[in-house]
Structure 1
């Protein structure tokens, strides 16, 4: 072998090894991103809300909060802190980096870490609204899941149509407290459910959210529970990921024919578009979303195309009322707009109500009267309900 041929060959080998190393690093980085992002999406612990805002001053009837994107939002909200909570109303003033809001309840101490919640109340139907209720257990395939049952009038009264309320990712059944008085006024019993990985509910076998792909079976169990206790029809009511769960139920459950109407509030009608919005919020290139989907599919066996309700509409499409906030920074309002536009093509009787100033699932909070009026009018228009 001539010495002159050794060096070029060695250089080519070094270049090949370097390229392989770079490809491995890039692949590893992509997989690392996908694993991290899928963990943010699928791990229930990452969906638990923290306390990101702070009380700067408080007094009977008013509270001041450090100004943030959330603390300036319009409407009625719940103010929650470790071991306590109250209701806050509209912003009454802003100055010096602080936001003053109306307060109904006992004020928290200055410096308390807090968060604003769309759910408003963190208690139960009786404490929030004086409504009688029972703590019941829904037998699911993984074990019993707790739920609130709010009867139409008395615990023994039978009613032909029940509402099954499905909260969003990281939320609780308290999400349904906002609409319970309006539903109660219509004579509708309400079953506010939990599903796998909720507090007090069974854990999924892998301990992960499946974004509606398996959770719909817990809603199916709730529908069977209602039917076994006299319900002939069901209204499904879903917030955020609860909307994705409802969509999968309508497309895949043998009990979907029992659903006479659906109400969706800021629903996930496309997980891909939701992830693209959230990637933009985090300053992450949208081109990396397929990597996160690929890893999530590997970890939880998810078909993300299945969740796109416009392209893959459910088999059962009952009359539907769809609320969405025009200022939603969590779930894209454009996806709901597109579904509303496609509804006539899909033979889906769907009414769309957009609330311009509302953030995620905050359409009720911005204007409770208008929200409840639209809800009541819709339900009264459905045969067998109103």
Structure 2
């Protein structure tokens, strides 16, 4: 391992009469480690999952290349073909070329077992083995949320995105997105305007920017966060790279928020990946006739996303309860005027707190079929929210 330092801490506790072990690995990756890791990642048949398996069993990327055939064949999934591919020395030429670029451009990097690697991404089996970064990114002990959506964002979506970030600003979250047209760049700009750290996850190497028109935002991005990518300088922004990029956006964040999306789109792929990673997903509802609300409405309808009407929904669902007071006074600015029936329900919930649907109907003297419709309208207006067990409360 050269100068690498491995600290292995075993946490042992009993849960439901079962012993569960957690291992925390803290590496300080050296240039030599990076060289061999880059070479390993260029071996045909080795992706992030296989690379992690090999490193885990052999101890390091360097030791993978020096491992005996018998040792490698003892690893599940390693056969004759992969063993032969590991003997091809051309991967070291590719690794040397990329390492020269990294050193000449002063590119920062983080290994998946290092402390400063995004914490939640460590728990994603297909998370990148190595991430490259530029700027002043600090993700330690931070709230991270991803905001994604259509590139053809409407004025409604743009305004909602800006207001959402403005209202969340007192909680100082890191705003993650893909630096693309539309919702992505609005999210990054809004974060910078609010003094928040923001991270753009790229689908190509750090030697270029796509789309090119966004070069004008590079300086401010790097002053207020920066860029992350798993791709080498030889990578171009190809379609499959954007899909791979989406798993980083979803995996590194506590929650993914979809502002607007058509029935199909990249932001829905990100939302599905976030669900697969057991992350919270939020979607902004819209009219059924609106093209760029169909994707969000479908996420909500199929229970793959929480309905999002205000920043308070994010605070509540992510259990940021201790700091909710910082958001609530701001949220009142979002309230829309209520009709007499809605006002009656709102006043009742304000006075009594969390109440069952049946109790609201009885106390406010509305039939069930009508109370359900009124509550839905009020939820869409952002003045109440549903809770488990058919409970409702005022925001």
State TM-score, norm by structure 1.
0.24
Name the structure, 1 or 2, with higher relative contact order (CA <8 Å, separation 6+): 1
Structure with the higher fraction of residues in strand conformation: 1
